[in-house]
Amino acid sequence: MTSMLTHALRNLPASSAWAARGFARSLSCSSQLQAAAVQPKSKKTLAKSGVKNIVVVEGVRIPFLQSGTTYADLMPHDLARAALHVPRDVVDYIVYGTVIQEVKTSNVAREAALGAGFSDKTPAHTVTMACISSNQAMTTGVGMIAAGQCDVVVAGGVELMSDVPIRHSRKMRKTMLTLNRAKTLGQKLSLLSKIRPDYFAPELPAVAEFSTSETMGHSADRLAAAFAVSRLEQDEYALRSHTLAKKAQDGGLLVDVVPFKVPGKETVTKDNGIRPSSMEQMGKLKPAFIKPHGTVTAANSSFLTDGASAMLLMSEEKALAMGYKPKAYLRDFVYVSQDPKDQLLLGPTYATPKVLEKAGLTMADIDVFEFHEAFAGQILANLKAMDSDWFAQNYMGRKSKVGAPPLEKFNNWGGSLSLGHPFGATGCRLVITAAHRLKKEGGQYGLVAACAAGGQGHAMIVELYPQ
């Protein structure tokens, strides 16, 4: 499998509760990781004179579950507050990311905070930036701490795909709103008489680009075709993701996952989408988007997922004063944006060289890579693009390629294809996984990158806190 993937990359086509539960558990898990950790080679720190050091004290997530399963009867703020196991009295601000907002709780950060027992004096707001929404939440927190506005920020993300809003047609909505303003019986009857059968057809949500009306899966299929990523390569990569995730889960490496007692149901303790299959079984699935000749299938795509994550960010000074041992520094980060049609999912390709240059690093300096896996075809197309001088020169305005991450450093504990992808919550998972892998694998620098709808992307450098 590895040889096939390696070959593919080289061939581009011409085209308080926290203290009791989270931290206690974290300290135990951290000690286990530390005992097994390989001491990293000493490298320069990325600290900058006159710039505050922002640290990750802890990051957790409730188990990521396939939509329509155990979380199906909950609401987004229920999931979000389940991840908010933090020392409530020291938090200055809360910011959450989400993509498909529940109308009743549009500022889900605020509703989750109140539901979790935070003071009503603690401000909270919600951001959205498609699949990098919790990345935006984190960097918003970083900015607030760096600016001296806060010392302690909780950043997170949530998505509940089991219950997405389904609307009446616009004609019906307009009629109903007008009907609500009608004053006489005659006016109401007149409006009701105008309703036609097609008014009752609902507007169903779709994971599609507003500007192009194209589903993301369709875009992934075209991207895979453009970079000559075969169905076989995609299935092999998806199998790799599930196999590594299963190994990490069984080996107790996914220490960011905290149990969640679902009201009226069982306590959920682990992700339920990790399902290593076989190449033969995966090969039987039909194309999901471009039929009959597409290569993107349900087996090599991330699945609709419910879940939430949260991360406790502090200035280093504040964390040490409170007696905490941080896990990692959050260093340089960038956001990028490109054509939302032909380059919708190429965010990592554009963001990676920019964040490396900003940090003064090269690909060889990075010990751990954590990239968002929306589709196997998407991730492999990005790796091919990153390893292409032709693409760098013709599309990125660069003289040469940045190079593809080596697979032995890449998403070693699984990724979104296997662990799940609750749109607004994935970014926090990527960052805390990078921090844990750095400690376990003996590295110093991690690079997190993700694509997002709208043709946008994000990349961040994570530096292991001195052990």
Residue 36 lies in a domain: no
- Let me know whether 354 and 234 are in one domain: yes
Mean pLDDT of the chain: 91
Q: What is the pLDDT of residue 19?
A: 34
Residue 436 lies in a domain: yes
Higher pLDDT, 35 or 320: 320
Give the mean model confidence (pLDDT) for residues 190-208: 86
Q: What is the pLDDT of residue 104?
A: 93
Residue 10 lies in a domain: no
- Let me know whether 352 and 418 are in one domain: yes
Residue 39 lies in a domain: no
Q: What total number of domains does the chain contain? A: 2
Handedness of CA 302, 307, 313, 319 (dihedral sign): negative
Domain coverage including residue 180: 167-203
Which of 183, 203, 223 finishes a domain?
A: 203
Residue 34 lies in a domain: no
- Let me know whether 306 and 181 are in one domain: no
- Let me know whether 307 and 181 are in one domain: no
Report whether 20 contacts 86 (CB < 8 A): no
Residue 343 lies in a domain: yes
Contacts of 184 (CB under 8 A, 6+ apart): none
Contacts of 224 (CB under 8 A, 6+ apart): 234, 295, 296, 375, 377, 378, 380, 381
- Let me know whether 139 and 260 are in one domain: yes
- Let me know whether 327 and 181 are in one domain: no
H or E stretch covering 154: strand 152-160
- Let me know whether 274 and 373 are in one domain: yes
Catalytic residue numbers read 131, 451
**Span 57-68, pLDDT tens digits:** 999 999 999 999
- Let me know whether 322 and 174 are in one domain: no
Burial of 291-310, coded b for 16+ CB within 10 Å and e otherwise, reads eeebbbbebbbbbbbbbbbb
- Let me know whether 318 and 429 are in one domain: yes
Report whether 221 contacts 377 (CB < 8 A): yes
DSSP alpha helix (H) spans, 157-278: 170-181, 185-193, 216-226, 231-250
β-bridge mates for residue 414, sequence order: 412
- Let me know whether 396 and 310 are in one domain: yes
Q: What is the pLDDT of residue 67?
A: 97
Q: What is the pLDDT of residue 327?
A: 98
CATH code, domain with 286: 3.40.47.10
**Span 81-115, pLDDT tens digits:** 999 988 888 999 999 999 999 989 999 999 999 99
- Let me know whether 173 and 91 are in one domain: no
Q: What is the pLDDT of residue 17?
A: 38
Residue 41 lies in a domain: no
Tell me which residue has tokens 């011409």.
14
- Let me know whether 368 and 435 are in one domain: yes
Average the pLDDT over each of 7-21, 211-225, 251-265, 444-458 and give the range with the smallest value. 7-21
Distance CA 14, CA 229 (A): 13
Residues in the chain: 467
Residue 19 lies in a domain: no
Q: What is the pLDDT of residue 86?
A: 81
Q: What is the pLDDT of residue 335?
A: 98
Whether 8 has a pLDDT exceeding 90, the answer reads: no
pLDDT category at 42 given cuts 50, 70, 90 is low
Query: CB 383: neighbour CB atoms within 10 A?
Result: 24
Whether 14 has a pLDDT exceeding 60, the answer reads: no
**Span 283-337, pLDDT tens digits:** 999 999 999 999 999 999 999 999 999 999 999 999 999 999 999 999 999 999 9
